[in-house]
Amino acid sequence: PAADGPRPPPWPMASELPGIDESSLCGLLTRLEQVEHIRGIVRPDESQDAILATEAEAKKKVAEELGRLIAEGLTSVERPRAKAFLEAQLKSIEPGTKGAEVRRTKLQEMLSGVNTAANIEEPMHVQQARRDVARAEKEYALVHKEYEKWDKGKKMLGVDELNKLKRSHEDLQKRLDAANALLEAQLCRRIDRAAARPEALSRPSPGAAFAAAAGRGKVAAKASPSVSLVHGGGPAVRPVASAASASSRAGGGYPA
């Protein structure tokens, strides 16, 4: 994480947003960001029109949530997002319009409250999602390192080991994607409306054992003199005759 706190992942699109009553402050602000995005669409579809129709309700809920959170405290993700929202609202006020000064005063008070509110930890469902991401990133990085060694031709592997590496690499990429998607969802949801942890993160990962072995430096070519070894050089692998001699070693790559 950066010095100013954990960085949020890309926010979900409108079709993936939780309902207003299920949304955390971040979820509500994301909804309003989507409203602004949809305004620029010439012909919004039915689902986008439905998001536009929730703007007033979402803004009212944001004001309620900010009042509560200013008193209770804000997380390192909530504070900058709340500040950005309030600053944008202040800039949008047209001087001289009815109620402009009253609105400006109210927004400035809220912005001051956001700046001085206590720092608090993220709720448990978000913390768990971050742990899932951290674990998935670590496991993927270990296997990806081995995959890159093979792919760049720096490491030779037996066919069985290569197939295991590829399966583990694909499995751990899917696991990392699932962990990031869950983090997106949990950041947008209240703790009492947390998303269910997907099965891909609840069960042991087939690639985790390979990642653990890679972390211990135990991944190596395992082949008898009669078993072919291959190394990378591209997505395709060119089969080789034998590992018994130097002439049996060939790189992977696209067929000539």
Concatenated DSSP letters for 59-118?
Answer: HHHHHHHHHHHHHH-B-TTHHHHHHHHHHHHHHTPPTTSTTHHHHHHHHHHHHHHHHHSP
The predicted structure's pLDDT at residue 202: 78
CA distance 106 to 93: 12
| Geometric angle at alpha carbon 246, from 242 and 249, rounded to 5° | 55
> The whole model's pTM is what?
0.74
For the chain, 256 residues long, give each residue's pLDDT as a single digit of tens. 444 444 444 555 555 789 999 999 999 999 999 999 999 999 999 989 999 999 999 999 999 999 999 999 999 999 999 999 999 999 999 988 888 999 999 999 999 999 999 999 999 999 999 999 999 999 899 888 888 888 787 777 788 888 888 888 898 999 999 999 999 999 999 999 999 998 878 777 666 666 666 666 665 544 444 445 555 655 434 343 333 333 333 344 434 3
The predicted structure's pLDDT at residue 161: 83
Structure-block tokens of residue 203:
């069960």
The predicted structure's pLDDT at residue 144: 87
Query: Is 37 in contact with 82 (CB distance < 8 Å)?
Result: no
User: Where do the DSSP E strands lie in the chain?
Assistant: 156-158, 229-231
- Delimit the domains of the chain by residue range: 14-116, 124-219
The predicted structure's pLDDT at residue 233: 56
